Structure formats: C-alpha cells, structure tokens
Structure 1
Amino acid sequence: MKFINLSKSRYTTKKYNPSKKISDNEIEELKEILRLSPSSINSQPWKFIFVSNEEIKNQLAEVSYFNELKIKDASHLVVFCAIDDIQSFENQINENLPEGAVGYYNQFIKPLSEQEIKSWLKHQVYLSLGYFLSACASMSIDSTPMEGIKSNEYNTILDLKNYTTLFAVAIGYREQNDPNQPKIKNKSRLQMEEIVKVL
C-alpha cells in the first residue's frame, strides 16, 4: 500500500480486541524497526520496553488515567524511555559513536544546561515514535500513542535506572465497532494552506 493511503487509514485506536494478539515474529520485527530508528548524531538515547505480561500490563494500565482499558485490551504496551543520566549518555556515545559525532555533542550540546540537554535527549525519542507508528500501520497493526500516563509510577513498576518514561504506545488489533476508525469517523485535520507553506 502506498504511504499516502496508510496515512489516510491509520488512526488512534480507542477499542482493542483483547482476544487477538500480535505474533512473536511481528514483535521481533517491530523491535528491530525501533532499533533502526533515526536520531541526531545517531545518539540513540533511548530504551523501548515491550510489555505483554498481563500482570505488569495491568499495573501500568492502572496508572494511565483514561487509557486504562485500551492498555488492558491491547496485545502489547510499548514504553518509550529516554536516558536520564547525562554521564551515562556521554559514556555511551564515547564508546559507540565516531569522533565527529562526539565532537558535535561536545561543541553544541554539552555546554547547554542540564535541562536543555535532557530536553534534547527526549526529542530524539519522539523521532522514533513517528517511525514506529508508521511501521505498525504498514504491518496492519493498530496503535494508540499516549502521554496520559503517570511517568514516575511507570518508572517504579518497570524498575528503571538511568532512564525515565516519556510515553507509551498500545498496539494490537481494533474491535470492529471501534467508533474512532476513519470509515466511521472522518479524520479531522487542518486545511493544507493553514499548515504548509511553499517558498
């Protein structure tokens, strides 16, 4: 399917079919896709946690505000985390990146405040989100990105060290009567001339 058609058919799923699960092979493919996600200077300041264990998934669902039912019914929950310890990040890039990339970081990012550096790190994780949602759509897997979660509680449940939760994505297969799908509810987007400028 052409990407424009995927864009028209993809939507944020509101109701999942709890009895339909994503295959292990497809989960492995999604993991590899996330591993290949782009980031500035190939910094990769992230961790992706795939949760299928029902007990853990339910614990996370209970600290996810209005997203609880979606998470419980979805096949998997993928938690997107950013590295939260600058020294650990610098150790990682010094060990894995070429001199030019490390030099860019040292010249342009490292002089910033701690808050600005961590903001830059988090921005890289958001790049992977668009990549992931598009990959799911290409595989006919439904998805629900969500920032409506209690990040600190997620960190505790997942026992995160040096990382912090940014957002999560429920993935699975829609209930056929999900009212948010485009064939039932038209997509609502701003007009082209309001958001795109050509010079």
Structure 2
Amino acid sequence: MRFLDLAKNRYTTKNYNPDRKIPAEKIEELKEILQLSPSSINSQSWKFLFVSDENKKRELADASYWNAQRINEASHLVVFTAIDDIAKFERQIKENLPEGAVNYYNKFLKPKEEAEIKSWLQHQVYLSLGFFLSACASMEIDSTPMEGIQNEEYDRILQLDSYKTLFSVAIGYRNPEDRNQPSLNPKLRLPLEQVIQSI
C-alpha cells in the first residue's frame, strides 16, 4: 500500500478488540523499528517500555484519565520516556557517538540552561513517535498516542530511574464498531493550501 493510502486510513483508535493480541513477532519488529528511530546527532535520548502485563496495564490505565478504557482494551501499551539525567546522557554520547557529534553537543547544547537541554532531549523522543505510528500503520496495527496521562504516576508505577515519561501509545486491533475510523467518520483536516506553502 502507498504511504499516502496508509495516511488516509490511519486514525486515532478509540475502541479496541480486547480479544485480539498483536503477535509476538510483530512486537519484536516494532521494538527494532523504534531502536532505529532518527534523532538529532543520533542522540537516542530515550527508553521505550512495552507493557503487556494486564495488571501493570490496568495500573497505568488508572493513571490515564479518559484514556483508561482504550488502554485496558488494547493489546499493548508503549511508554515513551526521555532521559532526565544530563550527566548520564553525556556519558552515553561520549561512549557511543563519533567525536563530531559529541563536539556539536558540547558547543551548541551543553552551554544552555538545564531546562533547555532537557527540552531538546525530549524533542528527540517526539521524532520517534511519528516513526512508530507510521510503522504501526504499515503493519495494520491500530494506535492511540496519548499525552492525557499522569506522567509522575507512570514514573512511579514503572519505577523509572534517570528517565521521565513523556507520553504513551496504546496499540492493538480496532473494534469493528469503533465510530472514529475513517470509513465511518471521515477525517477532518484543514485545506491543503492552508497548511502547505510552496516557495
């Protein structure tokens, strides 16, 4: 299928089929795809947690406001976290990245305020989100990206150390009666000429 067709058919799933789970081999493929996500200077300032344990998923659902039902129904919940320990990040890039990338960080980012550095680290994780949603669509896996969660509760439940939760994505297979799917509820987008400009 052409990517344009995938984009037209992909949507934020509201209701999942709780009886249909994503096969293990597809989950492993998604993990590898996330590992290959792009980031500035190949910084890889992230950790991704795949949650399939129903008890843990329920705990996280309880910390997810109006998103609880879709998390409980979904096959998996993927939690996207950003590194929150700058010293740890600096050790990581020194050990794993070429000198040029480390020099870029040292010259242009390290002199900034801590909050600005952490913001830059978090922006890299958002790059991986688009990559992940597209991968899911290409594999006919439905998805629901969610910022409507209690981030600090996620951190506590998952016992995160040096990382902070940014958002999560429920993945699975839609309930055929989900009213949000494009065949039942056409996508609403601003006109192309309003959002795209050719120069």
TM above 0.5, yes or no, is yes
**Number of matched pairs:** 199
Runs of 4+ in 1 over 6 A off after TM superposition: none
In percent, how many aligned pairs have the same letter? 65
Task: Show the counterpart of 1:15.
Answer: 15
Match of 1:75 in 2: 75
CA distance in 2, matches of 1:61, 1:111: 39
Residue in 2 that maps onto 1:30: 30
CA RMSD of aligned residues (A): 0.3
Q: Is 1:158 the equivalent of 2:158? A: yes
Deviations 1:63-89 (Å, cap 9, x if unpaired)? 000000000000000000000000000
| One-letter amino acid of the counterpart of residue 71, structure 2 | I
Shift of 1:13: 0.1
Given residue 180 of structure 1, which amino acid in structure 2 is its aligned partner?
N
Aligned equivalent of 2:97: 97
In structure 2, how many angstroms separate the alpha carbons of the residues matched to 1:129 and 1:166?
11
Residues 132-157 of structure 1 deviation map (CA, whole Å, 9 limit, x = unaligned): 00000000000000000000000000
Q: Deviations over 1:26-66 (max 9, x none)?
A: 00000000000000000000000000000000000000000
- Which AA in structure 2 matches 1:5? D
Q: Give the Cα separation in 2 of the matches to 1:9 and 1:195.
A: 20
Q: SS of 1:41's equivalent?
A: helix
- 1:46-195 superposed matches below 5 A: 46-195=46-195
Offset of 1:193 from its aligned partner? 1.1
Gaps of 5+ in 1: none
For 2:18, the aligned partner's letter is P
TM-score of the superposed pair, with normalisation by structure 2: 1.00
The CA distance in 2 between the partners of 1:59 and 1:173, in whole Å, is 21
Query: How high is the TM-score relative to the length of structure 1?
Result: 1.00
State the SS of the aligned residue for 1:80.
strand
Separation (CA, whole Å) in 1 of partners of 2:108 and 2:193: 35
The one-letter code matched in structure 2 to 1:166 is: L
| DSSP-derived class of the 2:169 partner | strand
Structure 2: segments with no counterpart, 5+ residues: none
Matched letter for residue 44 of structure 1? Q
CA distance in 2, matches of 1:111, 1:197: 35
